[in-house]
């Protein structure tokens, strides 16, 4: 801690305030004291810091992303371990995420969306060339700085494309990312490459232009299923004004089969640049009018071909010409018809030379009988291959001779791994040992009174069995004698439900707005590690996104800290003062709206500061009998102070009554303040007495009290 009470990492990074919260880490605005600059520091959640796989993924993010040096990628400066957790120091970009921009401005113009997508494609190209897949391209990870520069952030779940020996951290079957932007192969848990990021960028581009993503549903799982099974509606069918070329780019990005997308991010960027340069229409086939092609694309059923119409050539990629060059397109990228059109001269037909653009359209084919023959031949070849493989397998078993089963070859043995014995180890040790040999642990939790908590007591396959590298080993982990609820806060909904059900609990899901991303678990009841019998229900609260946020509790903070907390969460802040008999003056009573109340981002929140006890008006007690006046003063929350006696004529009605008071009536003072009074006393007592006691007489009686406790009517007046 520094002198100002700030948390400091590595003796140089002073954490100022939290500015974001992700699926597994908080992000803070910080000051690098060594270089006197602002940076962003990502700090792993404590519940994940003890998980070896999360820690390794976090560590790898720093090393991999630190090697990326590109103006459209948020830079990584440093990483380390501090206070029982791990952190990464990143470039601090003053700007807004595209998610924030879309919430405030709505959909973008097609040209602006294409410009942003082009910059993102350039950033992804740099990452893909370095062997990294982002895996979580979305609006929230695209930041536009105040000077208009586009940057891609959070390579937090980036994966090395080139697998290294013994590195099995990313494997087929692991699903990470945000369901709204999943590629079909990502939703199915398949191996990913750069084309998965391009699909996610296609979803982003679609959402920027249309105003909503191509697929929406009530749950993340349902959205993922739509990515796999359903085709997106073209933006033009939703009433969006968009030219053909840009729509073709979007639909090509959203192809279900990765082979039908752009092979590289550079190819996508090239097409976006062509669009921005003015290539707003897909060129027509030679000899065909644009009206003919438009009608063909819009047709809902096959039309009979014209009797004299020649067979149309199959179209490939179509080149476009930069408008600044003018004139008809020339060079090797020009499309030439494969068959002569009207008015064509004699000579053999020319062939296509594939140009670099990737606009394309499906065309009708008239060579169906050829394809049928080729399909038949292919099936015949496949049948022969299957018969050969079956015979080879039969022969390898040695069933046709007396030599017994064939021994595995050296190459077969090299592909298998002996399952290590991890029984009796803690889950963390078992996880590390299995991953070190290229296997993937899959834990489930059960109550076991005979095994210590977090100890592996069963595994499948058993130790010694030989299995393929990358295969899964199921581990059964003891919950100890008392079953406890596993921690799921910060996980996505699908993972959280799986973890809880594997521990034997029913799951109740409640959705609510929060600052966390949609689909992230932000609360659980009972809390993690609470004792709960299997079969009982655990309620999890899943974020629906930052549609509304909760006012933070700033009670107990200084005024400066409270302002920093509220401003850091996007509120406008004011202050108001109120009296309080409970909260000391200058301390925070509460906020308005109160802490924990759900409100819209950007709302003005007032910090209520105590002015101390409330002021009370001094009652007018002059002329009242002393006892009556004293009661009125005490009921007002004040106290009787000094009582002074003043002689009056014997028999006067002022005997025993309050003649004067200090402070005067109606003056506002703090509660429990003292009020001094002057009380009339019969002159027969001949004494002006001062003291805390009140006279006992009433009405015209001239009875008085000597404050010393001695009846001495002969003594002179104390005032001399």
Domain boundaries, the chain: 7-91, 96-276, 380-407, 415-482, 549-610, 615-691
Residue 100 annotated to the active site: no
Two tokens, residue 251: 């639909």
CA-to-CA dists, residue 584 to 587, 610, 637, angstroms: 6, 6, 18
DSSP strand pairing (95-97 vs 142-145): antiparallel
Average pLDDT over residues 321-340: 37
Residue that wins the pLDDT comparison between 451 and 623: 623
| CATH pick for 549-610 out of 3.40.1400.10, 1.10.1040.50, 3.30.10.20, 3.40.50.720 | 3.30.10.20
> Which range (112-126, 424-438, 514-528) has the least confidence?
514-528
Q: What pLDDT is attached to residue 481?
A: 66
Q: At what angle do helices 244-253 and 265-276 cross, to 10 degrees?
A: 170
Q: Can 7-91 and 549-610 be said to share one CATH topology?
A: no
Q: What pLDDT is attached to residue 231?
A: 92
Work out the pLDDT band at 595, boundaries 50, 70, 90.
confident
Burial of residue 25 (number of CB atoms within 10 Å: 0-12, 13-18, 19+): buried
> 7-91 has which CATH code?
3.30.200.20
Work out the pLDDT band at 111, boundaries 50, 70, 90.
very high
Q: What is the pLDDT of residues 481-501, one digit of tens each?
A: 677 888 888 888 888 998 898
Q: What is the pLDDT of residues 190-245, one digit of tens each?
A: 888 999 999 999 999 999 999 999 999 888 888 988 999 999 999 999 989 999 99
CA 474 to chain CA centroid, nearest Å: 30
Task: Look at the block and give the residue holding tokens 């013994």.
Answer: 166
Q: What pLDDT is attached to residue 282?
A: 57
| Distance separating alpha carbons of residues 403 and 400, to the nearest angstrom | 9
Any bridge partners for residue 9, and if so which? 13
Q: At what angle do helices 265-276 and 110-129 cross, to 10 degrees?
A: 160
Average pLDDT over residues 536-562: 84
Q: Where on the phi/psi map is residue 194: left (φ > 0), alpha (ψ -120 to 50), or beta?
A: alpha
CB 249 within 8 A of CB 281: no
Kindly report the pTM of this predicted structure. 0.43
CA-to-CA dists, residue 693 to 462, 476, 580, 618, 641, angstroms: 93, 82, 32, 20, 10
**DSSP-derived 3-state class of residue 547:** coil
Count of all residues that appear for the chain in the document: 720
Question: In CATH, what is the architecture of 96-276?
Answer: Orthogonal Bundle (1.10)
Residue 550 scores a pLDDT above 90 = no
Contacts of 45 (CB under 8 A, 6+ apart): 24, 25, 26, 85, 490
615-691 is classed CATH 2.40.50.140? no
Q: What is the pLDDT of residues 556-572, one digit of tens each?
A: 888 888 888 888 777 88
Burial of residue 190 (number of CB atoms within 10 Å: 0-12, 13-18, 19+): middle
Q: Tell me what the pLDDT averaged over the chain comes to.
A: 76
User: Does the CA dihedral 441-444-449-453 come out positive or negative?
Assistant: positive
CA 171 to chain CA centroid, nearest Å: 24
Work out the pLDDT band at 367, boundaries 50, 70, 90.
low
Q: Quick one: three-class SS letters along 256-320?
A: CCHHHCCCCHHHHHHHHHHHHCCCCCCCCCCCCCHHHHHHHHHCCCCCCCCCCCCCCCCCCCCCC
Question: Which among 136, 267, 271, 431 is annotated as catalytic?
Answer: 136
C-alpha neighbours within 13 Å on the C-beta side of residue 669: 18
| CATH pick for 415-482 out of 3.90.550.10, 3.40.50.2300, 3.30.10.20, 3.40.50.1000 | 3.30.10.20
Two tokens, residue 593: 């709206």
Any bridge partners for residue 550, and if so which? 598
């Amino acid at each position: 801690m520094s002198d100002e009470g700030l948390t400091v990492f590595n003796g140089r990074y002073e954490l100022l305030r939290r500015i974001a919260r992700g699926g597994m880490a908080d992000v803070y605005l910080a000051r690098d004291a060594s270089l006197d600059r602002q940076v962003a520091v990502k700090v792993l959640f404590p519940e994940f810091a003890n998980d070896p796989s999360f820690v390794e993924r976090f560590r790898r993010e720093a090393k991999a992303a630190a090697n990326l040096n590109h103006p459209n990628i948020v830079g990584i400066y440093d990483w380390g371990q501090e206070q029982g957790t791990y952190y990464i120091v990143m470039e601090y970009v003053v700007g807004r995420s595209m998610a924030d921009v879309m919430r405030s401005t709505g959909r973008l113009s097609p040209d602006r969306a294409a410009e942003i997508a082009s910059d993102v494609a350039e950033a992804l190209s740099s990452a893909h060339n370095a062997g990294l897949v982002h895996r979580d391209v979305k609006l929230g990870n695209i930041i536009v700085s105040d000077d208009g520069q586009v940057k891609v952030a959070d390579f937090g779940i980036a994966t090395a494309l080139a697998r290294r020996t013994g590195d099995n951290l990313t494997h087929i079957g692991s699903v990470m990312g945000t369901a709204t932007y999943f590629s079909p192969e990502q939703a199915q848990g398949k191996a990913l490459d750069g084309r998965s990021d391009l699909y996610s960028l296609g979803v982003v581009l679609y959402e920027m232009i249309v105003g909503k993503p191509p697929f929406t549903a009530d749950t993340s799982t349902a959205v993922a299923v739509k990515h796999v099974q359903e085709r997106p509606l073209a933006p033009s069918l939703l009433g969006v004004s968009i030219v053909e070329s840009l729509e073709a780019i979007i639909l090509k990005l959203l192809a279900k089969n990765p082979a039908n997308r752009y092979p590289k991010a550079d190819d996508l960027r090239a097409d976006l640049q062509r669009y921005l340069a003015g290539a707003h229409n897909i060129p027509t086939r030679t000899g065909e009018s644009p009206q003919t092609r438009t009608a063909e694309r819009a047709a809902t059923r096959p039309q009979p071909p014209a009797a004299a119409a020649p067979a149309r050539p199959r179209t490939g990629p179509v080149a476009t010409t930069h408008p600044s060059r003018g004139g008809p397109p020339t060079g090797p990228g020009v499309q030439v018809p494969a068959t002569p059109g009207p008015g064509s001269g004699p000579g053999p037909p020319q062939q296509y030379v594939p140009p670099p653009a990737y606009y394309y359209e499906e065309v009708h084919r008239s060579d169906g009988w050829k394809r049928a023959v080729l399909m038949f031949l292919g099936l015949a070849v496949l049948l022969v291959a299957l018969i050969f493989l079956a015979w080879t397998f039969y022969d390898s078993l040695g069933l046709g001779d007396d030599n017994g089963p064939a021994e595995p070859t050296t190459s077969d043995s090299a592909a298998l791994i002996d399952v290590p014995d991890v029984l009796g180890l803690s889950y963390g040790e078992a996880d590390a040992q299995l991953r070190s040999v290229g296997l993937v642990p899959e834990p489930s939790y059960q109550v076991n009174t005979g095994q210590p908590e977090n100890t592996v007591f069963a595994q499948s396959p058993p130790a010694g069995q030989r299995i393929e590298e990358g295969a899964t080993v199921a581990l059964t982990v003891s919950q100890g004698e008392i079953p406890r609820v596993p921690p799921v806060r910060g996980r996505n909904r699908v993972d959280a439900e799986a973890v809880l059900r594997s521990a034997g609990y029913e799951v109740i899901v409640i959705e609510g707005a929060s600052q966390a991303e949609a689909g992230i678990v932000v609360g659980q009841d009972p809390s993690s590690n609470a004792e709960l019998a299997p079969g009982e229900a655990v309620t999890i609260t899943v974020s629906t996104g930052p549609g509304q946020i909760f006012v933070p509790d700033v009670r107990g903070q200084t005024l400066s800290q409270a302002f920093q907390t509220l401003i850091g969460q996007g509120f406008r802040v004011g202050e108001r003062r109120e009296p309080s008999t409970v909260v000391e003056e200058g301390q925070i009573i509460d906020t308005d709206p109160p802490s924990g109340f759900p409100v819209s981002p950007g709302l003005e929140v007032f910090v209520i500061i105590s002015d101390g006890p409330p002021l009370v008006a001094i009652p007018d007690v002059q002329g009242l009998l002393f006892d009556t006046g004293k009661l009125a003063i005490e009921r007002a929350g004040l106290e009787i102070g000094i009582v002074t006696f003043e002689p009056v004529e014997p028999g006067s009605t002022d005997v025993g009554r309050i003649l004067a008071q200090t402070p005067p009536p109606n003056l506002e003072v703090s509660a429990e303040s003292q009020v001094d009074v002057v009380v009339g006393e019969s002159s027969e007592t001949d004494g002006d007495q001062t003291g805390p006691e009140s006279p006992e007489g009433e009405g015209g009686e001239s009875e008085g009290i000597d404050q010393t406790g001695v009846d001495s009517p002969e003594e002179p007046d104390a005032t001399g």
